[in-house]
A and B are shown apart, each in its own frame.
Chain A
Amino acid sequence: DAGITQSPRHKVTETGTPVTLRCHQTENHRYMYWYRQDPGHGLRLIHYSYGVKDTDKGEVSDGYSVSRSKTEDFLLTLESATSSQTSVYFCAISERLYEQYFGPGTRLTVT
């Protein structure tokens, strides 16, 4: 398995609180991605990174920010969590011309 971990794996938080999810890789891959997965919508891209400090928005980026200060870490922050952000969040990594590998996922519940 590709060396990708996500933390925490499960989190319950209250509306309005900030939340940070961490993705850590040991593969030295250039590209890192954050997706959310919801019933009926499949995987939707939130943000992605194509290098240290280089990030771009995906199709559902509103309410989320990211940071990548090191090759191995990609952080996803919900500045003020809302119930609509209850979801399963997957991190993925890839190198150019190769497939993506996914982390184990984080189940986030916003009450």
Chain B
Amino acid sequence: EDKVVQSPLSLVVHEGDTVTLNCSYEVTNFRSLLWYKQEKKAPTFLFMLTSSGIEKKSGRLSSILDKKELFSILNITATQTGDSAIYLCAVEQNTGNQFYFGTGTSLTVIP
């Protein structure tokens, strides 16, 4: 059964901390892994990863994929209260263009 597992389920940190969010997957016919940020509305796209070992970076956020060990991490440095959200990981299949989502990590950044 195809599945995506995220950890931790929730996390509370102080502003300025660095956090690492994890996503592991067991999905047949893997094409890509995606990270989304969801506040009180629709998920918004952060990164798409298709190749192992190549870091994607956007400001204080970065992500990397390990296709051998079947996982990805999302790092957020110098966290701010605006980073508080649910972070979703999704894996796209090569066949049928389906996406499988994890249950998300709820991040709360307190001042």
Chain B residues closer than 8 Å to A98, beta-carbon distance: 48
Measured CB to CB, the closest approach of chain A to B36, in angstroms, equals 8
A45 to B98, CA, bound (A): 8
Judge whether B97 and A31 touch: CB under 8 Å: yes
Judge whether B99 and A100 touch: CB under 8 Å: yes
Majority-rule SS of B interface residues: strand
Knowing A42-B104, A99-B48, the reply to whether A90 touches B99 (Cβ < 8 A) is no
Judge whether A45 and B103 touch: CB under 8 Å: no
Q: Which of B19-38 contact A (CB under 8 A)?
A: 31-32, 34
Identity of the chain B residue whose Cβ is nearest the Cβ of A4 in the assembled complex = B42
Judge whether B42 and A100 touch: CB under 8 Å: no
Judge whether A90 and B101 touch: CB under 8 Å: no
Chain A residues closer than 8 Å to B43, beta-carbon distance: 43, 90, 102
A48 to B41, CA, bound (A): 21
Chain B residues closer than 8 Å to A40, beta-carbon distance: 103
Chain A residues closer than 8 Å to B44, beta-carbon distance: 102
The reply on A70 being an interface residue by CB < 8 A is: no
Chain B residues closer than 8 Å to A48, beta-carbon distance: 96-98
- The residue from B41, B48, B90, B102 contacting A104, defined by CB atoms under 8 A apart: B41
Judge whether A94 and B97 touch: CB under 8 Å: yes
Judge whether A50 and B96 touch: CB under 8 Å: yes
Measured CB to CB, the closest approach of chain B to A37, in angstroms, equals 9
Identity of the chain A residue whose Cβ is nearest the Cβ of B47 in the assembled complex = A99
Knowing A99-B45, A102-B42, A102-B43, the reply to whether A41 touches B97 (Cβ < 8 A) is no
The reply on A58 being an interface residue by CB < 8 A is: yes
Chain A residues closer than 8 Å to B32, beta-carbon distance: 97
- The residue from A42, A45, A58 contacting B88, defined by CB atoms under 8 A apart: A42
Knowing A90-B42, A102-B43, the reply to whether A43 touches B101 (Cβ < 8 A) is yes
Chain A contact residues, CB within 8 Å of chain B? 31, 33, 35, 40-45, 48, 50, 56, 58, 90, 92, 94, 96-105
